[in-house]
Amino acid sequence: MNLDELWRRTVENLVREGIIRSEAVRRAFLKYPRYLFVEEKHRKYAHLDEPLPIPAGQTVSAPHMVAIMLELAELKPGMNVLEIGTGSGWNAALISELVKTDVYTVERIPELVEFARRNLERAGVKNVHVIPGDGTLGFPPKAPYDRIIVTAGAPDIPKPLVEQLKPGGKLIIPVGSYHIWQDLLEVIKLEDGSIKVKNHGGVAFVPLIGEHGWRE
């Protein structure tokens, strides 16, 4: 089977398992297969449901994990979305297909800023803006956001990210220990500015480094 056929089978499996629940997420996965966002030497493994290496010692998440977070986010066309931790650019591409408007994504590692930009350009994604910087500070120029999705594990919920959410907005973030185990949290900002937190179970992400995250 070629890469497209292998990827389609992966997506079908995620649908069958109830991990991809919405037609919108299914279509986004089919439009932007993971093999477009990894180095050539890893493309033959991109259909596997496991993390893969990307430059700078980082990883691109397993397809099931990306699908879980996107389904939790309940993205709709027109939403203003911020991603923290661009990595390969794959998740940002999927978000852009779901919201059909500009997406802002912050990446602290210069090598990955360029890697993601190249991948996005090759995939034909024109509405994702990759911003170099400390993702734990968010991106105030385009705030407030309907959704903020964090693709690295934090020691706690970063205050600037909550501040940059709209009332009724949602933050999806892994919170817990450094590089071993976190809980996937759904943080909903209420109208009075307080937050409601739902725990969706254990995950394992690379650490979120920054002023309001882990220290290097």
Q: How far apart are the C-alpha atoms of 88 and 61, rounded to whole Å? A: 10
Active site (annotated) includes residue 88: no
Look at the block and give the residue holding tokens 């852009």: 96
* Bridge partners for 59 per DSSP: 53
Q: Of residues 22, 61, 88, 194, which has the active-site annotation?
A: 61
* CA distances to 61, 105, 117, 202 from 57, in Å: 13, 19, 18, 22
CA dihedral of 156, 104, 62, 159, whole degrees rounded to 10: 0
Q: Which residue numbers are catalytic? A: 61
